[in-house]
Amino acid sequence: MSKVKKDDTVKVHYTGKLNDGQVFDSSREREPIEFKVGAGQMIPGFEKGVLDMELHQKKEISIKPEEAYGEVKDELFQEIPKSQLPEEIKPEVGMGLAASMPDGSQQQLRVSEVKEDSIVVDANHPLAGKDLNFELEVVEIK
């Protein structure tokens, strides 16, 4: 039976959970994710996890932050005066915001603290600093 190797295109069903058991993402209710192994389309730990798996094999893997979204970086927190926010926005901790960058792209931010005259936003990936646990099943190897 063939095994997943670098440069294969695979389809994988997965369920991602945090250490407390909270599911943060799953393909079970939709199409499996398709990607080329080794092309950098997935976090490194996910790619390594599917290597050498066989068709229809299931397994569980744990990925440390350095093989996922990295550690939380303090420099990605920024304090912003509330006066710079649109009037209709009432910031709350955990709220997602999008900031327009000079190049026209959008950066996703989360409100991490609300102060009297300002807010602190976090530009880290929401899963930065977390161990990720995945249940994997290879459903196609090309």
- 20-44: per-residue pLDDT in tens? 999 999 999 999 999 999 999 999 9
CA distance 141 to 136: 14
pTM of the model: 0.85
Apex 8 CA angle, 2 and 14, nearest 5: 85
Domains of the chain: 9-70+128-141 (3.10.50.40), 74-122 (2.40.10.330)
- 53-107: per-residue pLDDT in tens? 999 999 999 999 999 999 999 999 999 999 999 889 999 999 999 888 889 889 8
Cα–Cα separations (whole angstroms), residue 17 to 22, 23, 105, 110, 133? 5, 4, 30, 20, 5
